[in-house]
Chain A
Amino acid sequence: MSDAITTISPRRTKAARFLNPIRIAVHLWRYRNLIQQLTWREVTGRYKGSVVGLGWSIIQPLIMLIIYTFVFSVIFSARWGVEPEEGRAAFALTLFIGLITFSLFSEVVNASPTLILAHANYVKKVVFPLEILILVKFLSATISALFSLIVLLIGILLVYHSLPLTALLLPLVWLPMMMFSLGWGYFLASLGVFVRDIGATINIVTTMLFFLTPIFYPITAVPENLRVIFRINPLAIFVEDARRVTIWGLTPDWPWFFAGLVLSTIIFLFGYAWFMKSKKTFADVV
């Protein structure tokens, strides 16, 4: 019998409460049991009942990779222009890391606008920490990405016969990308409740971003005068740094990395705070 008194009042929670990262972490940690269960369910549920099952997590990105490699390397005769002898395999791997990185972002962002509506029950009928839903989506996307990453690392070993030491920096390089994705995820999840169009159009936006991010072409392939536009796309930073670290054995481009980190942190905190503040009004709309 808990004697905790819960006060339900209209007192507006100051946004500042939501901007403290430690507080956020503690708050989400409270629900780790629920998060774990929902994430597990999401990951296993994806391919439940199919014959190949979790194998699809690997097969699907591999197939896309083969197609992209074929189109860009064979049909377009694209070259990366970084190494002297560049085989198709090397091209494919370079492509792959960019794909994985971008996919994590796009998976979260594409799913977010309709996430709350899909769980309308959790909004109106029970007291549910809705912020978990975006986190769960993110975690399951991360797990998917990890599977692909394993395939990539095996590929690198096979082609280059060694893994660069800088590959260990990948988690660091991915950190801003993850915060960026989460921040946008939260923001869009909230917005998607009120403006339904976003759910329909988000796919177009991410597809646009997909082509406007240097995933299957280096930034150097972009004409000099337009390069600025591509540079300010934070995803370009993330993808480029991921490539540097895993394929070419270079350290991240530190100035750009830190710029990205700062931007992503701001976006994450803003998105999360926005979501938490608007959470109360979901029940009126859903």
Chain B
Amino acid sequence: MFNDFAVHASSIGKCYHIYNQPVDRLKQSLWRGRRRFYNDFWALQDTSFQINKGETVGIIGSNGSGKSTLMQLLCGTLNPTVGKIEVRGRVAALLELGAGFNPEFTGRENVYVNSAIMGLSRAETDARYDEIAEFAGIGSFIEQPVKTYSTGMYVRLAFAAAVNVSPDILVVDEVLSVGDARFQQKCMAKIRRFCREGTVIFVSHDMAAITELCSRVLWIEGGKLRLNREPKFVVEKYLEFMYEGDRGLEQSPSGIATPSESEYSLQEFVPVTKDFRQFGNRKATIQSIRFLSQNGSKGFIYAGESCEISIFLRAHENIAKPIVGYLVKNRLGQEIFGDNTDLMKYPVSPFSAGQSGIVTFQINEWPSLLNGDYTISVAVGDGTIEKHSQCHWIYDAIVVENISGHPPVGIFSIPNTNVTFSRLKS
């Protein structure tokens, strides 16, 4: 089992010596150990892990976490300061596509040089050339210097060249967000096929893709390996960290806090401040808002989960017919869905001046939406939906990240749908 590894890292660390001027480096090499001209910066420390053949492993971490350093170490473009990495097989990196390309060379020449760099002989490249050219799909432009290419063409050629060298280990990151939809499909299809046949190391901020593709996820943070476990667990911990700050790892895997039945802790509510975009006559105002998902998070939501949107109001004058509502919009500003107490035929008791209350919308099944950030706008008014005065409307009060393992076709998909087939007798 041990011998089946693709990558084996033992206690690797990378320390950058930060010099004030390049010439100090020269001085350092002459003075060796006797004087110090640099400051230490440990980009990566004491990291050990093993990736077995055929695994698809994801690597996540915030910016500056040491992720890229680890990538470079795996690809061999950097040497570790301590520890060692053993890599079995040929590594192709799809990081910074076309980084090895020379702008003056033609596409064809770059493919050959790229393949030569990867260790292929001319004959091997000849054999693959047609396949690469076809995959890239840039036609006769392949004979033109690469500097004349559009970004899309550049990326397509770079991807085609890198992926068709039949590497044993493929290291991919999010460069694939460039390129048109058809190309992205082609790339993802190729990567998926690769996941079945070989070892893939996938670096991404796209939690949905990570969850979908990887069997294991490594979370690098602050230069250290924080977690090395199944995707769902690591992603959840990571998102908690991102949205709520560092609470450490004291929580047990299944210890996902369920909102208590007792009264809400208003401390969990996000207060409304002048920074929010808002308008209204302020006869009643929304003081604070809370979004709480089934797993206890306030920053992200999975498709199918239940969640609550709680709005804490205070009336400053008598409000006879309070109407409270919310609206969910995508990052393009399209209104996706929303509701209000009048449409729901839920009568909110009238407020007299000075009274406060909390309106909570309970959503039992968050729809399957396209992945990304969504905003929730909230409002309170007085009257009916056809005729009301706007007391307080807050645009984009809350931002949540939607994570769907199976993103929908279109804006959303309907959960719990079934399909059946019956043959007819002719």
Contact = CB atoms under 8 A, between A and B. Distances in A.
Contacts of A45: 104
Interface in B15-44: 16-17, 22-23, 25-26, 29
B379 interface: no
Interface string B63-86: 000000000110111111111111
A170 to B, nearest CB: 32
Interface of B is mostly: mixed
A266 B18 CA distance: 34
Interface stretch (A84-92, A118-126, A246-254): A118-126
Interface in B84-118: 84-90, 93, 95-96, 99-102, 104-105, 109, 112-113, 116-117
Interface in A1-30: 1-11
A37 B89 contact: no
B75 to A, nearest CB: 7
Contacts of B78: 283
B308 interface: no
B11 to A, nearest CB: 11
Given A195-B26, A284-B17, A124 B77 contact: yes
Of A3, A121, A278, most buried by chain B (CB within 10 Å of CB) is A121
B25 A281 contact: yes
Interface in A30-45: 31, 33-34, 37-38, 41, 45
Contact of B168 (A1, A126, A195, A284): A1
B362 interface: no
Interface string B275-319: 000000000000000000000000000000000000000000000
Nearest to B27: A194
A127 interface: yes
A277 to B, nearest CB: 9
B184 interface: no
B100 A126 contact: yes
Give the interface size bracket for B toward A: 35 or more
B25 to A, nearest CB: 5
Contacts of B72: 124
A9 B83 contact: yes
Given A38-B113, A194-B25, A125 B99 contact: yes
A9 B85 contact: yes
Contact of B87 (A8, A196, A283): A8
B121 interface: yes
A121 B182 CA distance: 29
Nearest to A118: B102
A280 interface: yes
B192 interface: no
A121 B75 CA distance: 14
A127 B76 contact: yes
Given A9-B80, A280-B79, A128 B85 contact: no
B112 A3 contact: no
Given A122-B100, A194-B25, A194-B26, A283 B121 contact: no
A37 B114 CA distance: 11
Contacts of B102: 121
Of B17, B72, B82, B89, most buried by chain A (CB within 10 Å of CB) is B89
A285 interface: yes
B229 interface: no
Nearest to B119: A2
Given A125-B95, A195-B26, 7 more contacts: A5-B87, A6-B87, A8-B84, A126-B99, A128-B100, A278-B29, A284-B25
Interface of A: 1-11, 31, 33-34, 37-38, 41, 45, 121-122, 124-128, 191, 194-196, 278, 280-281, 283-285
16 contacts: A1-B166, A1-B168, A4-B88, A6-B87, A7-B85, A7-B87, A41-B105, A121-B99, A124-B77, A125-B96, A126-B100, A191-B26, A278-B29, A283-B78, A284-B25, A285-B22
